[in-house]
């Protein structure tokens, strides 16, 4: 019990310190959803995300999502529950957020569809602003809230680059890149995903921003590899492609996908549908990927330039600089 209290107090102090720093930065940058704590203390293996929800009034309402990473050692269920109660109490008093607006989830290494499975079914939706866009966030029902906060800088890049471009968002999830592209003035946006749940969520996000248009901003249910192969046959082209695949997927309606094995095939297919002077952004959360720039350059039918933009793509609120890797790939003029 004493150890729990000591860790909770340590966590509380760290949370206050991070909030003091990051809240100033977030206000200055107009950011309303950010990572507040990122496994800062080894004994407290948590990630904490703060969401400032849009309301009908002027005041924003704060919600907290606490992710508990799987420990390298076992704790009994009762011990873990007791520890988490102390942690939630510390977070609540530290940030003055009532406990009914704090949600705790266990984050393990996920495979396939598990990362998107429901953990509840209460549909506790809130609206959060990012740049000029609004997004529906589900703080309770799923392991992930619907907005990957580490890709905030990349979404901002897409917003700035999308004007008058044909945009393709592969593995589109809830359509956050698609919304930014459409809001940024893209001539069309195609979002491809295999999940009806996430395509519907993407539609709701587009509608929330008054951007849903079945002709201009299309939502396509398909396996990405099959979609690209068909697009190559039909000689379709896009000016801007975002490809952020899961590390692993074993959906019943598609072939098993492993980014560590399939990254080259996927990138080459994307390059085949990339228009002249187009740009491909490829991103992954895999720490094991052996992304070989020379292999990609030598395998491509086009003369291409590959640039690792990982450092520029990770936001200030993420202490974990290995949260993702990102490359910008374009034709070498």
Full DSSP string of 58-74:
SSPEEEEEEEEEPPSS-
What pLDDT score does 113 carry? 43
Lowest pLDDT segment from 67-71, 122-126, 236-240, 324-328: 122-126
Cα angle 119-220-235, degrees, rounded to a multiple of 5: 145
Could you tell me the residue ranges of all domains in the chain? 2-108, 148-331
Q: What sign does the CA torsion over 259, 265, 268, 272 have?
A: negative
Task: Please give the CATH topology (third level) of the domain spanning 2-108.
Answer: Transcription Regulator spoIIAA (3.30.750)
Mean pLDDT, range 7-11, rounded to an integer: 95
- Quote the CA–CA distance of 39 and 129 in Å, as a whole number: 25
What pLDDT score does 69 carry? 86
Is 80 exceeded by the pLDDT of residue 165? yes
**Backbone dihedral region for residue 256 (phi beyond 0: left; psi -120 to 50: alpha; all else: beta):** beta
What pLDDT score does 1 carry? 58
Is 60 exceeded by the pLDDT of residue 262? yes
Judged by DSSP in three states, 46 sits in: strand
In order of 33, 257, 276, the CA distances from 89 in angstroms are: 21, 41, 56
- Quote the CA–CA distance of 174 and 176 in Å, as a whole number: 6
What pLDDT score does 250 carry? 78
Question: Is 45:68 a contact under the CB 8 Å cutoff?
Answer: yes
The token duo for 113 is 């569809």
How many Cα neighbours within 13 Å face the side chain of 178? 35
Distance from the first to the final alpha carbon of the chain: 64
What pLDDT score does 115 carry? 45
In order of 53, 56, 265, the CA distances from 59 in angstroms are: 9, 8, 48
Mean pLDDT, range 232-241, rounded to an integer: 98
What pLDDT score does 252 carry? 66
Question: Is 118:142 a contact under the CB 8 Å cutoff?
Answer: yes
What pLDDT score does 243 carry? 98
Confidence band for 223, pLDDT divided at 50, 70 and 90: very high
Task: Please give the CATH topology (third level) of the domain spanning 148-331.
Answer: Rossmann fold (3.40.50)
pLDDT digits (tens, 9 = 90+) for 267-298: 999 999 999 999 999 999 999 999 999 999 99
Is 70 exceeded by the pLDDT of residue 109? no
The token duo for 234 is 């039909």
Mean pLDDT of the chain: 91
Mean pLDDT, range 110-132, rounded to an integer: 65
The token duo for 68 is 């508990």
């Amino acid at each position: 019990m004493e150890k729990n209290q000591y860790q909770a107090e340590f966590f509380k102090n760290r949370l206050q310190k991070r909030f003091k720093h990051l809240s100033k930065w977030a206000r200055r940058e107009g950011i309303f959803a950010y990572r507040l704590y990122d496994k800062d203390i080894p004994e407290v293996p948590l990630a904490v995300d703060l969401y400032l929800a849009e309301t009908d009034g002027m005041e924003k309402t704060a919600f907290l999502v606490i992710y508990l990473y799987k420990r390298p050692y076992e704790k009994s269920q009762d011990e873990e529950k007791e520890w988490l109660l102390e942690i939630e109490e510390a977070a609540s008093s530290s940030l003055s957020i009532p406990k009914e607006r704090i949600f705790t989830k266990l984050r393990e290494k996920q495979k396939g569809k598990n990362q998107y499975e429901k953990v509840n079914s209460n549909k506790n939706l809130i609206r959060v602003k990012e740049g000029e866009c609004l997004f529906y966030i589900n703080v309770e029902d799923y392991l992930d809230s619907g907005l990957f906060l580490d890709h905030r800088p990349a979404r901002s890049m897409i917003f700035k680059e999308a004007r008058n471009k044909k945009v393709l968002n592969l593995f589109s999830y809830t359509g956050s890149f698609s919304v930014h592209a459409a809001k940024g003035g893209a001539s069309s946006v195609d979002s491809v995903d295999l999940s009806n749940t996430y395509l519907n969520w993407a539609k709701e996000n587009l509608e929330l921003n008054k951007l849903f248009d079945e002709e201009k901003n299309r939502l396509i249910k398909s396996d990405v590899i099959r979609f690209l192969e068909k697009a190559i046959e039909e000689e379709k082209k896009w000016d801007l492609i975002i490809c952020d695949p899961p590390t692993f997927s074993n959906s019943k309606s598609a072939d098993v996908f492993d980014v560590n094995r399939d990254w080259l095939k996927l990138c080459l297919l994307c390059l085949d549908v990339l228009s002249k002077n187009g740009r491909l952004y490829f991103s992954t959360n895999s720490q094991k990927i052996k992304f070989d720039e020379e292999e990609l350059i030598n395998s491509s039918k086009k003369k291409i330039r590959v640039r690792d933009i990982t450092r520029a793509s990770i936001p200030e609120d993420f202490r974990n600089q290995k949260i993702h890797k990102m490359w910008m790939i374009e034709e070498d003029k």
